[in-house]
């Protein structure tokens, strides 16, 4: 009899190692040996010594470094992501508690009155009596089929995914801040150029006015010079307006109102970093959004084990003991009571509920797997896009720089000929317009190249460690 009473415990111990979840393997994604748009990249480690995430120091701009450093403590989106991570950790710890027994203490003290005409009431029973009790209850669900362990695994994977989400949000926000800052400095360059242009156009207008008063130039030349000057001033005002909007966007990223942040205009000092694309296989390890997607696949895989375990018997062990009395004197051997024994539950008919839960678990697993593949494919596209931009923008910048030199030479010749009366002012206006546009294009290309570098860093996961 005593040996037979231990048989359920022996069976429970033997079955506790069962796990009904499928063997987990991350979804397979075909990875090429090299990026298509890599071009003449060479292996390099420019940021190995830098802490993870401080990639913006590659641009060597102290103001950008200061703004990026304050992003962690001020941005509300990042704070919300951290709160979601705390939630995920709490859920993981909640699931982990299922691995341990639950122990509860309780007590009650009541005064009761029994009906004198209650059916089947015994003779001599009092109408009024007290009921006082102190007890301790312990319960433990034996994890026969790995349901609890799979809940713990799923919770842990979800917490890891949430941590990767925090890294992804931080990377996205820091990249957006860097791109906005580079745009701001590009507009500063535009403003400096247009301020110089306005000054030069004023000189050209004054020259035309003098020639007109000396009956050397026509009145049309004066109106053309005035038009050029007015358009340059209008462009400068437009640049100032665009700069104000970018500054407001930076303030919002830093969790501030526009009135709380002022970034003084400055000449851009950012350097074009030499960024290695690395190997495509390394991308799967660097991108936090890929890591988050993969962890969610692992969590869904564990969910299949939980759903399958619901079809099998569940075994729980329970213990209840304490002191019980009708008066205030509780402590004493005659007042003690206890209950000890296992409980078994086996689902016989659930109307298809368990089957539906299993189908749901498999569907969630397949959905997570396809989401992972989609994330990987978009990651490779991001890298290839920015590699292509860096490559072709560099070629375009070389051609534009050549155009700037030639247009400057053309303007100088046109002004000289106009002073000597050998050319009309229309040729000067055309040369001025071309020179200004090529300079603005050159500044815009430099800004776009810097932003493409930021885009590549973001696409590569923000670090090379």
Mean pLDDT of the 329-345 span:
85
Q: What's the pLDDT at 285?
A: 72
Count how many Cα atoms sit within 13 Å of the Cα of residue 330 in the half-sphere of its side chain: 14
Look at residue 347 and tell me whether its pLDDT is greater than 50. Answer: yes
The gap between the terminal CA atoms of the chain, to the nearest Å, is: 64
Return the CATH fold of 17-98+144-312+353-459.
Outer membrane efflux proteins (OEP) (1.20.1600)
Q: Is 255 exposed, middle or buried (0-12, 13-18, 19+ CB in 10 A)?
A: middle
pLDDT tens, 144-173? Answer: 888 889 999 999 999 999 999 998 999 999
Q: What's the pLDDT at 463?
A: 62
Show the tokens assigned to 357: 């839960």
Q: What's the pLDDT at 335?
A: 83
Sheet of 128-142: strand order equals 102-113, 128-142, 314-325, 336-345
Look at residue 177 and tell me whether its pLDDT is greater than 90. Answer: yes
Look at residue 307 and tell me whether its pLDDT is greater than 90. Answer: yes
Look at residue 40 and tell me whether its pLDDT is greater than 90. Answer: no
Taking the CA atoms of 182, 186, 187 and 189 in sequence, report the sign of the dihedral they define.
positive
Mean pLDDT of the 218-234 span:
89
pLDDT tens, 47-99? Answer: 333 344 588 988 999 999 999 999 888 888 888 888 888 888 998 888 888 88
Closest-CA residue to 240 (of 191, 274, 276): 191
Angle among Cα 196, 197, 198 to the nearest 5 degrees reads 90
Q: Give the dihedral of Cα atoms 255, 258, 259, 262; nearest 10 deg.
A: 100
Residue 167 backbone dihedrals phi, psi, to 5 degrees:
-65, -40
Q: If pLDDT is split at 50, 70 and 90, which confidence band does 16 have? A: low
Task: Tell me the CA distances in angstroms from 438 to 398, 403, 404, one per residue in order.
Answer: 12, 7, 5
| Alpha carbons 269 and 263: distance in angstroms, whole number | 15
- Average pLDDT of the residues of the chain: 85
Q: What's the pLDDT at 41?
A: 37
Q: What's the pLDDT at 242?
A: 96
The structure tokens 């799967």 sit at 284
| Alpha carbons 283 and 29: distance in angstroms, whole number | 12
| Alpha carbons 43 and 39: distance in angstroms, whole number | 12
Show the tokens assigned to 206: 């004054």
Q: What's the pLDDT at 423?
A: 83
pLDDT above 90 covers what percent of the chain?
50
Q: If pLDDT is split at 50, 70 and 90, which confidence band does 46 have? A: very low
Closest-CA residue to 293 (of 378, 216, 376): 376
Residue 51 DSSP code: P
Q: What's the pLDDT at 13?
A: 53
% helix, strand, coil for the chain, step of 5:
65, 10, 25
| Alpha carbons 269 and 279: distance in angstroms, whole number | 30
Strand 336-345 with 102-113, pairing: unpaired
Max Cα distance, the chain (Å): 137
Closest-CA residue to 375 (of 305, 453, 284): 284
| Alpha carbons 228 and 240: distance in angstroms, whole number | 19
Count how many Cα atoms sit within 13 Å of the Cα of residue 459 in the half-sphere of its side chain: 26
Angle among Cα 256, 262, 263 to the nearest 5 degrees reads 120
For 351: left if phi > 0, alpha if psi spans -120 to 50, otherwise beta; the answer is left
pLDDT above 70 covers what percent of the chain?
89
Q: What's the pLDDT at 403?
A: 94
Look at residue 330 and tell me whether its pLDDT is greater than 80. Answer: no
Look at residue 355 and tell me whether its pLDDT is greater than 90. Answer: yes
Q: If pLDDT is split at 50, 70 and 90, which confidence band does 129 have? A: confident
Closest-CA residue to 38 (of 343, 276, 350, 297): 276
Show the tokens assigned to 438: 């090529």
Show the tokens assigned to 108: 């009650």
The structure tokens 């005064």 sit at 111
Mean pLDDT of the 311-333 span:
86
Q: What's the pLDDT at 175?
A: 93
Taking the CA atoms of 247, 249, 253 and 257 in sequence, report the sign of the dihedral they define.
positive
């Amino acid at each position: 009899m005593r040996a037979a009473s231990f048989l359920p415990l022996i069976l429970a111990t033997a079955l506790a190692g069962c796990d009904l979840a499928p063997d987990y393997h991350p979804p397979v994604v075909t990875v090429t040996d090299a990026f298509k748009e890599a071009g003449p990249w060479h292996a390099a480690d420019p940021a190995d010594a830098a802490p993870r995430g401080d990639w913006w120091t590659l641009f060597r701009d102290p103001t950008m470094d200061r703004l990026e450093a304050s992003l962690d403590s001020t941005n509300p989106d990042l704070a919300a992501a951290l709160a979601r991570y705390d939630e995920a950790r709490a859920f993981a710890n909640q699931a982990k508690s299922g691995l341990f027994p639950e122990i509860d203490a309780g007590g009650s003290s009541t005064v009761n009155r029994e009906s004198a005409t209650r059916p089947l009431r015994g003779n001599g029973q009092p109408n009024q009596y007290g009921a006082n009790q102190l007890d301790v209850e312990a319960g433990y669900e034996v994890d026969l089929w790995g349901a609890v362990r799979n809940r713990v695994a799923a919770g842990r994977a979800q917490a890891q995914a949430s941590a990767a989400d925090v890294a992804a949000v931080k990377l996205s926000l820091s990249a957006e801040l860097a791109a906005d800052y580079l745009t701001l400095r590009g507009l500063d360059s535009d403003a400096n150029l247009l301020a110089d242009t306005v000054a030069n156009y004023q000189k050209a207008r004054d020259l035309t006015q003098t020639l007109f008063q000396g009956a050397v130039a026509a009145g049309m030349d004066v109106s053309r010079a005035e038009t050029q000057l007015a358009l340059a001033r209008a462009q400068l005002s437009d640049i100032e307006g665009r700069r104000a909007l970018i500054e407001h966007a930076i303030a919002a990223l830093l969790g501030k109102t526009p009135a709380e942040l002022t970034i003084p205009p400055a000449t851009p000092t950012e350097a074009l970093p030499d960024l290695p694309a690395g190997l495509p296989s390394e991308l799967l390890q660097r991108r936090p959004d890929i890591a988050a997607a993969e962890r969610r696949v692992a969590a869904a895989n564990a969910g299949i084990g939980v759903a399958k375990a619901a079809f099998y018997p569940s075994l729980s062990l329970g213990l209840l003991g304490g002191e019980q009395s009708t008066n205030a004197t509780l402590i004493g051997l005659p007042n003690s009571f206890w209950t000890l024994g296992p409980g078994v539950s086996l689902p016989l008919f659930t109307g298809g509920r368990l089957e539906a839960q299993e189908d749901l678990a498999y569907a969630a697993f397949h959905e997570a797997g396809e989401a992972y593949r989609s994330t990987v494919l978009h990651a490779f596209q991001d890298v290839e896009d920015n590699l292509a931009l860096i490559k072709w923008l560099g070629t375009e910048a070389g051609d534009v720089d050549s155009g700037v030199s030639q247009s400057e030479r053309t303007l100088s010749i046109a002004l000289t000929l106009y002073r000597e009366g050998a050319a009309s002012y229309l040729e000067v206006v055309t040369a001025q317009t071309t020179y200004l546009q090529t300079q603005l294009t050159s500044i815009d290309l430099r800004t776009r190249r810097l932003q493409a570098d930021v885009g590549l860093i973001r696409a590569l996961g923000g670090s090379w460690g």
